[in-house]
Chain A
Amino acid sequence: MSIEDKDTAPPMEAHGILTQFGTNVIHENLDFRVEKGEIVGLVGGSGTGKSVLLNTMLGLKEPEGGIIRYFGRDRTELTKEEREAINNEMGVLFQGGALFSSLSVRENIMVPLREHTDLPVPLMRELADMKIHMVGLPAQSATLYPSDLSGGMKKRAGLARSLSLDPKLLFLDEPTAGLDPVGANAFDELILGLREAMDLTILMITHDLDSLYTICDRVAVLVDKRIAIADTLPKVQEYDHPWVKEYFGGPRSRAALKAGKT
């Protein structure tokens, strides 16, 4: 893979995805692409298969049909080494943080570094501490264990771990779910700041309307087994579909819109 390719090709692209469990079809003919440097929000009702789509895009699950491309390369055609290199370009923040509970926060962040680099351990520790600082955790939290952290801190620690190899593409699964409004706002700010600093492309599953209004460049809507529309928020709001109308026309949405505008 040459540098030129990577700079132009979309980091993640899904084409004609078919997902089914037995006879139950979850996604059919689903097309989706994330352009370099943008933050895309993925919304959809419960049970529409947002998390399944995330797993498919991450490679945790192979779709029954269709193609996934990373940086312009078909996933199935990659060699093992290429696949590994591309995996290191992707970071994931799972819903609950998914921190390893037997390791301290610092050790958690060092896991990818230990696995994929041969840096000396003291330097790994310093880099982990830098990531802890970047996600806004107090320095003292480095030696704490996940069970000692609050929900918001766990998310930040999970984000720090997902950033430890400096990925180009970041997946966030409901990053602000379970956070109080102040914490959620701070997290949104953090994501914006990190995108700028680390040149990230971000795909986030979210139900937080404030996040959609404040930080997402585009919003993708998963209805009727496919991505019906993926565009800027005003255009998505105009889209003629009962679920979309209900989603963005509800009282919560109007309140968030008002807050976003002021």
Chain B
Amino acid sequence: MSSNSNSSPAKYVLTQEDRSITFRPNGDWTLDQVAAIDPVLTAELQALDYDMVYYDFTDLGELDTAGAYMFARAVRIGPGQRHFWVVTEGTKGQQTLMQAAADAVKGKPPVVDRQWYDSLTRLGKATERFFTEVFETLAFIGKFFAVFFKLMLRPRQIRWNSVVSLIEEIGLNAAPIVVTLCFFIGAVIAYMGASLLASFGASVFMVDLVGVSVLRELAPIITAILIAGRSDSAFTAQIGAMKMRQEVDAMTVIGLDTFETLVVPRAIACLVSLPILTFLGMMSGVFAGMLIAWTGEIDISPVLFFQRLNEVVGVKAFWVGMVKTPFFAVIIAVIGCRQGLAVTGSVESLGSRTTQSVVQSIFAVIAVNAIFAILFYQMGI
């Protein structure tokens, strides 16, 4: 695109003699001109029948690749029609450009064709992908446990340095947000319980409500979902970036096991962090409930609150909540690492894998929690 203001418009003269045409362009044939001239020129050439094209560039101003491409519209080489072309007048540069343009017309560019069954194909592929994802995640979990127990027998081989720094990243750095969130959740449950139960004159039952819901369900699940969103994306992005820069390949060649160096430390860090975070979340949620009970309208003193908590909720709810956390921890770590290792070369796959990793782990956490709920119900716990 050159000198927009000074360029003269592209024009041409076409003359036919027997089975040959002469093409005499004048003006500047540049990128900013071709859009206007293309439909006119194409239509006129379509109407003609000829075997030979003579190009006369005597009056031609500036020429660039787009202009040359327009000239080459006159050249058609294919089954049934065969056109020869010659540049009769023109500089060497113009000839070379014309040659390149004419060559380009010869090749059949590939097209992405969309068929009517395209959406069905995509549906089928998505279904297939769903099953392979499930299968590969299960296979990955299996392989993880095999490596994990092997390492448990030789704990010296575990990379404790990275475990500790990961615990700081996953556990310590997440503690404030977990505590704050669980505090809000506990407070909300307490308010809801207080106002609903007051209409039955049974306000004191809000202690049961806060205790059971926070200890058994809310603190473990909120913590797990938070870590799934926070650390899973980090795992996938870290490992995925390493995969893209061939760091993972380099590790394998050097003889480092990717499971030992990348997956197991993250799993151990999650296994340590998640129960502690859940415990903090529980304390914070119950504390919020106690504050609302004390300062709200129902006026239950902290002493009464904890007495009632001890009597009706007991330590059982606490253990029911805690026992789920190692399962969540393994799920989160394994899904995050698996998606990271599944990243291929492109930036797009890194993005889609990170999304999948968070979606899958949150889904898995909620599903496993539901399984636990059924299990505990059947066992009468």
Chain A interface (Cβ < 8 Å from any Cβ of B): 1-3, 6, 85, 88-89, 101-102, 113, 116-120, 123, 125-127, 129-134, 139-140, 142-143, 145-147, 163, 165-166, 168, 193, 196-199
Contacts and interface: CB of A to CB of B under 8 A. Distances in A.
Given A123-B34, A130-B104, A139-B109, 13 more contacts: A113-B31, A120-B38, A123-B38, A126-B109, A130-B101, A134-B65, A139-B108, A139-B110, A142-B109, A193-B96, A198-B93, A198-B97, A199-B93
B69 A197 contact: no
The secondary structure that dominates the B interface is: helix
Query: Which of under 10, 10 to 19, 20 to 34, or 35 or more describes the interface residues of B?
Result: 20 to 34
B65 A102 contact: no
Interface string B106-147: 011110100000000000000000000000000000000000
Contacts of A140: 110
A210 to B, nearest CB: 23
A133 B102 CA distance: 10
Nearest to A138: B107
- The 7 closest A-B CB pairs, nearest first, are A147-B345, A133-B104, A166-B64, A130-B104, A197-B96, A129-B109, A139-B107
Nearest to B63: A199
Given A133-B103, A139-B107, A193-B96, A166 B30 contact: yes
Contacts of B32: 117
B107 A127 contact: no
B350 to A, nearest CB: 9
Contacts of B93: 196-199
B276 interface: no
B178 to A, nearest CB: 35
Interface in B1-24: 1-4, 6
Given A123-B38, A127-B66, A165-B31, A102 B1 contact: no
A89 B62 CA distance: 14
Contact of A147 (B6, B38, B108, B344): B344
B65 A119 contact: no
B378 interface: no
Contacts of A118: 35
B35 A3 contact: no
Given A118-B35, A143-B110, A198 B101 contact: no
A88 B101 CA distance: 21
A120 B305 CA distance: 73
Contacts of A166: 1-2, 30-31, 64-66
Nearest to A117: B31
Nearest to B345: A147
Interface in B336-355: 344-348
13 contacts: A1-B3, A2-B6, A101-B346, A102-B348, A119-B35, A123-B38, A125-B109, A127-B66, A130-B100, A131-B65, A166-B65, A197-B100, A198-B64
Nearest to B28: A3
Nearest to A81: B4
A172 B113 CA distance: 35
A139 B106 CA distance: 10
A127 B110 contact: no
A6 B290 CA distance: 80
Contacts of A2: 3, 6
B347 A102 contact: yes
B66 A145 contact: no
B92 interface: yes
B1 A117 contact: yes
Contact of A143 (B107, B112, B345): B112
A132 B30 CA distance: 19
Chain A CB within 10 A, most for which of B66, B92, B112: B66
Contacts of B96: 193, 196-197
Contact of A197 (B4, B97, B107, B346): B97
Contact of A145 (B35, B101, B108, B346): B346
Nearest to A131: B65
Given A119-B35, A166-B64, A102 B6 contact: no
Nearest to B351: A102
A90 to B, nearest CB: 12
A126 B65 CA distance: 11
A124 B346 CA distance: 25
